[in-house]
């Protein structure tokens, strides 16, 4: 008898879960209110981040709090109304940054990122979009002399985890990215990272691969999820859908669906923005560039050069706040010859748990309900490995990495 599954959410994590379960013989229905890859998975910098193994709330965060809390730094915008209405989440986020937790969190993130380029390379080949993959690495740059020490320290840290990188001086930066203006004193080139020219299009291509293999994609808003006998039923604005198991991979909207079931996942969101700008004639970049001091990514995309903002800690559905994206757009123009931006400023939300690790596993007290969300800034990179963990657990296989750090029971009783 064919096993059946509902996957709720068609971002990178959800689409990957659909493919992994399909590969194991499941009849899968993938449901989202929008087309695949049109929400959080659309708006990132397109980086396949092998080297992103340090959680955002690491011990170094405490030294930056003074500049962050005054909303004077482009890396963070803190909406004080959110801080007052949800103080528990922020306090837990800070508590999880204590030094005693750092090594375990780093090891957990490393287990997710180690195979990200390899897994995406294989999926892109299967989906026929290998042309979207750039294996040219990423470049991190500093505007001051202090960047030399910071770059060397990061190189040593990455080397201790088996990740190679190159420290660059001003001249070497110009050698690898001649289009950048010579305002950066130090850089770190990580060639073990990769990137794509349209993360939304890549997610869509994976969804089309799933459909080509017989999967069902339904564009509908999921309004409720409930037990139905031994299985699960999703109620949508286009009817009900039943299956033996359900996987919640709705990113920042996951908490809306789980709360009526009595499941408080401690999930919250970090909002972020991007804009696309065209380069002046003759100017180009070969890879995404992260400007450390100005806190933005500048990534070559199909639509132009994508400038991404830092973290906006406002309520998920609050009105836009463009202070950060305006500031980093100005900084990006200092670094690279860009024209005026065209089109809309995009806003999205990253699903974040207090320990900066995703929730991957079966929901406590709810057999057959599986959770796959909270990948924070790394959902595009770690979607495929998250899916393989879920699919292995569902099928009683040994997961590719230890799932213990990601168990839902660490926050859900």
CA-closest candidate to residue 17, choices 247, 234, 255: 247
pLDDT band of residue 323 (cuts 50, 70, 90) is: very high
Q: Convert the pLDDT of each residue in 102-118 to its tens digit.
A: 999 999 999 999 999 99
Mean of the per-residue pLDDT values for the chain? Answer: 95
**Which pLDDT score is estimated for 67?**
76
**Which pLDDT score is estimated for 89?**
87
Is residue 234's pLDDT more than 80?
yes
Q: Convert the pLDDT of each residue in 363-381 to its tens digit.
A: 999 999 999 999 999 999 9
- Strands 311-313, 76-78: parallel, antiparallel or unpaired by DSSP? parallel
**Which pLDDT score is estimated for 170?**
97
What are phi and psi for residue 352, nearest 5 degrees?
Answer: -130, 130
Q: Are 388 and 400 in contact (CB under 8 A)?
A: yes
What is this structure's pTM?
Answer: 0.97
**Which pLDDT score is estimated for 9?**
98
Greater pLDDT, 321 or 343: 321
- Overall average pLDDT of the 11-19 stretch: 98
**Which pLDDT score is estimated for 81?**
83
- Domain 1-57+96-135+194-267+353-413 has what CATH class? alpha beta
**Which pLDDT score is estimated for 90?**
86
pLDDT band of residue 35 (cuts 50, 70, 90) is: very high
> What percentage of the chain reaches a pLDDT higher than 90?
89
Beta-carbon contacts of residue 50 (< 8 Å; ≥ 6 apart): 113, 114, 116, 117, 163, 190, 192, 193, 194, 381
Q: Where are the domains of the chain?
A: 1-57+96-135+194-267+353-413
- Overall average pLDDT of the 339-353 stretch: 90
Distance, CA of 288 to CA of 176 (rounded, Å) = 12
Q: Convert the pLDDT of each residue in 57-82 to its tens digit.
A: 888 888 887 777 777 788 888 888 88
pLDDT band of residue 86 (cuts 50, 70, 90) is: confident
**Which pLDDT score is estimated for 1?**
81
**Which pLDDT score is estimated for 68?**
75
Q: Which two tokens stand for residue 328?
A: 């980093």
- Overall average pLDDT of the 377-405 stretch: 98
Q: Are 373 and 358 in contact (CB under 8 A)?
A: yes
Distance, CA of 168 to CA of 174 (rounded, Å) = 9
């Amino acid at each position: 008898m064919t096993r059946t599954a509902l996957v709720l959410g068609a971002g990178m994590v959800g689409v990957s879960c659909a493919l992994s379960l399909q590969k194991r013989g499941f009849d899968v229905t993938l449901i989202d209110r929008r087309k695949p890859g049109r929400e959080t998975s659309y708006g990132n910098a397109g980086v396949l981040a092998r080297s992103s193994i340090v959680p955002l709330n690491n011990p170094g965060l405490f030294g930056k709090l003074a500049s962050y809390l005054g909303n004077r730094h482009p890396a963070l915008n803190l909406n004080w109304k959110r801080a007052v209405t949800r103080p528990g989440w922020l306090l837990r986020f800070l508590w999880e940054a204590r030094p005693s937790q750092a090594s375990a969190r780093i090891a957990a993130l490393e287990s997710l990122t180690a195979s990200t380029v390899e897994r995406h390379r294989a999926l892109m080949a299967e989906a026929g979009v290998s042309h979207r993959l750039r294996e040219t690495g990423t470049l991190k740059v500093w505007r001051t002399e202090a960047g030399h020490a910071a770059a060397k320290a990061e190189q040593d840290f990455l080397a201790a985890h088996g990740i190679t990188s190159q420290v660059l001086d001003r001249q070497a930066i110009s050698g690898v990215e001649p289009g950048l203006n010579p305002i950066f004193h130090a850089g770190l080139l990580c060639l073990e990272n990769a990137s794509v020219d349209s993360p939304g299009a890549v997610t869509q291509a994976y969804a089309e691969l799933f459909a080509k293999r017989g999967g069902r994609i339904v564009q509908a808003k999921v309004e409720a999820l409930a037990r139905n006998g031994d299985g699960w039923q999703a109620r949508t604005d286009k009817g009900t859908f039943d299956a033996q198991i359900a996987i919640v991979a709705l990113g920042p909207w996951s908490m809306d669906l789980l709360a009526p079931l009595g499941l408080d996942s401690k999930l919250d969101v970090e909002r972020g923005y991007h804009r696309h700008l065209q380069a002046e004639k003759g100017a180009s970049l070969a890879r995404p560039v992260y400007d450390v001091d100005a806190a933005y990514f500048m990534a070559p995309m199909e639509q132009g050069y994508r400038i991404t903002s830092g973290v906006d800690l406002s309520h998920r559905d609050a009105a836009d706040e463009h202070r950060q994206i305006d500031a980093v757009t100005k900084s990006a123009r200092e670094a690279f010859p860009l024209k005026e931006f065209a089109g809309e400023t995009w806003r999205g939300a990253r699903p974040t748990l207090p320990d900066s690790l995703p929730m991957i596993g079966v929901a406590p007290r709810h057999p057959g309900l599986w959770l796959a969300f909270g990948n924070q800034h790394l959902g595009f990179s770690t979607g495929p490995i998250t899916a393989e963990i879920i699919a292995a657990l569902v099928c009683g296989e040994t997961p590719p990495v230890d799932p213990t750090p990601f168990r839902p029971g660490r926050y859900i009783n």
